[in-house]
Structure 1
Amino acid sequence: MKSAHSQKGISILGWLMMLTVVAFFASAAFKVLPHYFDNMALEKMITSVETDKALDVRTVGDFYSHISKGMQVNSIRDLNMQDAIKVKVENNEFRVHLKYEKREPLIQNIDLVVRFDKEFRVRMP
């Protein structure tokens, strides 16, 4: 059994390894989190059509216009709305399919990929 005097704690090399691992995960999180925030903003824009009666969204064109304005307000510029959002009208409700993926370079040829795929049923006002 080692004495208490010889057990001094983590070494410099241990601290550097721990700091490297924490920095790696922090870097990955800071690259991916903005895409999750953009997705949450898009989901909120889609669901606001049903809850906010002042919007008066009645057609698919109105829906796309509403989403486009919301994307400008939220500074979502790196996403093609026509490719990511598909809207259909069925049974007096909008069927919205939000599907896209984003890639962020991590290290040389290694990318972080986030994929979003969600369907919404939004009743017309």
Structure 2
Amino acid sequence: MSFAKSQKGASVLGIMVVLALVAFFLSAGLKMMPHYLDNNALSGIIKKIESDKAADVRTIADFYTYVKKGMTINAIRDLDLEKALEVKIENNEFRAHLKYEKREPLIQNLDLVARFDKEFRVRMP
């Protein structure tokens, strides 16, 4: 019975290890969150082309111009749109392929990498 009385909970070392792990994952999450938010905003911009009748997007150049304006509004600065977005016109619709990756340094030579690869079909107005 004396064994049960000697157990009192987590040690200081155990608590420090748990706090270090929480801090590590929180730091990694906070570093990657802006990239996922930017990708979500880009996807929304591309999807909005179909419903925005005032934009009158009919050519590939118009498509890129519309997306660039949306990137300016959403403060997405660190993405080369010509490399990340490929647009084709097939069967009276735009086929947009958004493919890029973002790297965020973690510890010395270790990086966090997020790859984004999504295809969109946007009907022409």
TM value normalised by structure 1: 0.95
Q: Classify the secondary structure of the residue corresponding to 2:116.
A: strand
Aligned partner of 2:46 in structure 1 is: 46
Segments of structure 2 that go 5 or more residues without pairing to the other structure are none
Counterpart in 1 of 2:6?
A: 6
CA distances 1:65-123 after superposition (whole Å, capped 9, x unpaired): 11001111111111000000011111110010000001000000000010011111100
Name the amino acid aligned to 2:27.
Answer: S
Distance in structure 1 (CA, Å) of the matches to 2:18 and 2:101: 31
Structure 1 unaligned segments of length 5 or more: list them: none
Q: Counterpart amino acid of 1:74?
A: N
Q: 2-side partners of 1:66 and 1:7: how far apart?
A: 65
Trace 1:35-114 onto structure 2 (pairs within 5 A): 35-114=35-114
Matched to 1:122, the amino acid is V
Give the CA RMSD over aligned residues: 0.9
Query: What per-residue deviation string (whole Å, max 9, x for no partner) do you get for residues 22-73 of structure 1?
Result: 0000011011111000000000000001122222111111110110011111
Corresponding residue SS for 2:6: coil
1:21 aligns to 2:21 (yes or no): yes
The runs of at least 4 aligned residues of structure 1 exceeding 2 Å deviation read: none
Q: Which moved more, 1:33-42 or 1:50-59?
A: 50-59
Measured in 1, the distance between the counterparts of 2:120 and 2:49 equals: 11
- TM-score, normalising length: structure 2: 0.95
Q: How many residues align?
A: 124
Letter in 1 for 2:94: F
Matched, 1:115 2:105: no
SS of corresponding position for 1:76: coil
